[in-house]
Structure 1
Amino acid sequence: MAGRRRWTTEEILDAAVDLLRTSDTESFSVRKLAAALGTDSSSLYRHFRNKTELLRAVADRILAAAMDGYRPAGDWKQRITATALRLREAFGEHPQLAAVWGRYASGGTGSRLVMEEVLQALRASGLPEEEIPSRYHRLVILLAALIASEASIGVLTPGEYEQGMEHFRVAVLGADPDRFPALAHFAREIRPLGADRRAAFEEILAAHIAQIETAIP
């Protein structure tokens, strides 16, 4: 009788990405992944010790894909911006996986590529060496938060999105001007969270980079 097929690490990660496209990290499990592959969980535990390790590998794969073909160009600000936009685009194609990056820190090649480029760019900026680690940390937290926030909109179904827009309109346009005078005053100009996400991403990133620039001697 033919033996059970042995799945490679790359094939397991491919299947995990496909499964996470239609589920979230809470409902995702090694057992479900094994079922999708037509095998048992024990065969996957030969590659990954637990669910967290598997999710870290999946997140790292997205980071590696984002940096694939990247070549540093321009000054330090352009390099950080280019890296950030690559990460945004990569997780935008896999919005269900965006929260994985923020929740499960990766120590793989993809993570190292991102860390190396951001640190190199900060060193090129002229920042004092002792400030670079903390500046790096704050920048990556900002990027992870912005990307995860944007991705949360991307996973909504059309019905869920429209329902959210209706709640937004009721909350804003229906605000009692006596109780919420500022909200009522700006109601026609206030935009929902899902609007102009790319522009907001770039403006917030540019403001943070400008703040870093003030610390350069």
Structure 2
Amino acid sequence: MVERVVPEGLRRRRRPTKQGAVLSERLIIETALRLVGEHGADALSVRRLGAALGSDPSSLYRYFRNTDDLLLALADEFVGRAQEGWRATGDWRADLRDMGLRIHAVYLANPQVALLAAHRTTGRAHETAAVEKILGILRRAGFPDTTAVPLYHAFVDQALAFAALDAAALALPEPARVADEEVWRASYGRLPPETHPNIAATFPLLAADMRGSGYPFALDLMLDAAAARLP
């Protein structure tokens, strides 16, 4: 794509696409999410999007400068979805925990897109709203700005890092994912206490815990550490 985005007020397509829908930024984003979810990163192309929309690929230029611009829109869409229905309770710890779990869950619901978008900074409306909310939670709780800012940084990076890690596991082909899960039983479960006493002693707990994400526990650890820094 090239940089020739049409101003928002002039974007509306006069005729519907071959599928009978009027082309819009929302329709493009939803179609891109579906394609990447079904086919992976290679689906994020002008040609494939145009075919899926029943529209001339060049019409996408009216909405996005290039495919990276579209990817940033997808990343911002995820941040927006994480905030849907969220309400502050006044309990800073509960509010942050809820926000973190929402972010993590949204990315895991769309693992193929998460691999492309979790590390991006969009500067768009949903992201800036989330930054404002999280900083507001920390500042209202009484954290000084010199503490609130690095706490915000650690909180967001932790949520997105776990989201990317867990999404990568979910995005594996089914045989590879099953094989990875089987390693805990087939390999670790057979290690003798004579050579690996700690693994042998904890194996039932270890095998059960490793089936899920470590994020909720890590999030609680981070919130415990944050509470210790509250004046």
Same fold (TM > 0.5): yes
Q: C-alpha displacement at 1:10, in angstroms?
A: 1.0
Q: After superposition, give the CA deviation of every residue in 1:61-91 in whole Å (9 maximum; x if it has no partner).
A: 1221221232211311111111112222322
Change (3 A) 1:191 1:181: same
CA distance in 2, matches of 1:142, 1:208: 9
Shift of 1:4: 7.7
Mark the CA change 1:150 to 1:14 in structure 2 (over 3 Å): closer, same or farther: same
Maintained 8 Å contact 2:80/2:127: yes
Corresponding residue pairs, total: 214
Aligned-pair identity (%):
27
Distance 1:192 1:7 in 2: 47
1:129/1:16 CA distance change after superposition, 3 Å: same
Aligned residue for 2:222? 208
Residue of structure 1 in register with 2:113 after alignment = 97
Which residue number in structure 1 is paired with residue 88 of structure 2? Answer: 72
Q: For the residues of structure 1 that align with 2:123 and 2:218, how far apart are their CA atoms?
A: 27
Are the aligned partners of 1:52 and 1:104 in contact in 2 as well (CA < 8 Å)?
A: no
Of 74-83 and 94-103, more deviation after overlay is shown by 94-103
Name the Cα RMSD after superposition: 2.7
Q: Distance in 1 between matches of 2:114 and 2:163?
A: 7
Determine if the alignment matches structure 1 residue 142 to structure 2 residue 163.
Answer: no
Whether the 8 Å CA contact 2:79–2:127 is kept in 1: the answer is yes
TM-score of the aligned structures, taking structure 2 as reference length: 0.79
2:31 is the counterpart of 1:21 = no
Determine which of 30, 45, 51 is the counterpart of 2:61.
45
Indicate the SS of the match to 1:164.
Answer: helix
Farther off after superposition, 83-92 or 56-65: 83-92
Contact 1:61 1:110 in 2 (8 A): yes
When structure 1 is superposed on structure 2, of 185-194 and 138-147 the one drifting more is: 185-194
Distance 2:39 2:187 in 1: 30
**C-alpha offsets along residues 25-47 of structure 1, whole Å, 9 cap, x if unaligned?**
35532322222223343221221
Unaligned runs of 5+ in 1: none
CA distance in 2, matches of 1:123, 1:46: 40
Q: Distance in 1 between matches of 2:198 and 2:220?
A: 28
The 1-side partners of 2:85 and 2:42 are apart by: 32
- Listed one character per residue, the Cα deviations across residues 83-124 of structure 1 (whole Å, up to 9, x for unaligned) are 112222322322222233322222222112211111111102
Q: Any idea what the Cα deviations from partners look like across 1:171-208, whole Å, max 9, x if unmatched?
A: 313447676564455444422775232xx322211110
Question: Matched residue of 2:39: which SS?
Answer: coil
Q: Show structure 2 runs of 5+ residues with no match.
A: 1-13
Query: What is the match of residue 79 of structure 2?
Result: 63
- TM-aligned CA distance change 1:169 to 1:202, over 3 Å: same
Task: Output the amino acid matched with 1:139.
Answer: F
Q: Residues of 2 paired with 1:147 and 1:106: CA distance?
A: 17
Q: Summarize the alignment of residues 155-170 of structure 1 with structure 2, pairs less than 5 Å apart.
A: 155-156=171-172, 158-170=174-186
Is residue 103–residue 160 contact of structure 2 (8 Å, CA) maintained in 1? Answer: no
| Structure-2 separation of matches of 1:32 and 1:162 | 30
> Equivalent residue of 2:85, what SS?
coil
Q: Which residue type is aligned with residue 201 of structure 1?
A: Y
SS class of match (2:122) = coil
Moved more, 176-185 or 26-35: 176-185
